[in-house]
Amino acid sequence: MSRATSFLVLAVVLVGAVVGGLFYLDQAVEPQAQTVEKVLPDDQFSR
């Protein structure tokens, strides 16, 4: 193989590994749900 072909094959393999890793992390990691409660004071609203 020529040097350019070797570089191209290596680049394709690295891009494939990165894309595969990102896809794996997207499927493997689930976001944690947290409940947020905020109390607004009554004097903030006009009656």
Between 43 and 35, the higher pLDDT residue: 35
Per-domain residue ranges of the chain: 1-29
Backbone angles phi, psi at 29, to 5 degrees: -100, 120
Instruction: Compute the distance between CA of residue 14 and CA of residue 9 in angstroms, rounded to an integer.
Output: 9
Locate 26 and state its tokens: 């997207």
Between 13 and 44, the higher pLDDT residue: 13
Count of positions (residues) in the chain: 47
Instruction: Compute the distance between CA of residue 15 and CA of residue 8 in angstroms, rounded to an integer.
Output: 11
Confidence of residue 42 (pLDDT cuts 50, 70, 90): confident
At residue 45, does pLDDT exceed 90? no
User: pLDDT per residue over 2-38, tens digit each?
Assistant: 999 999 999 999 999 999 999 999 888 888 899 999 9
For residue 19, the model assigns a pLDDT of 97
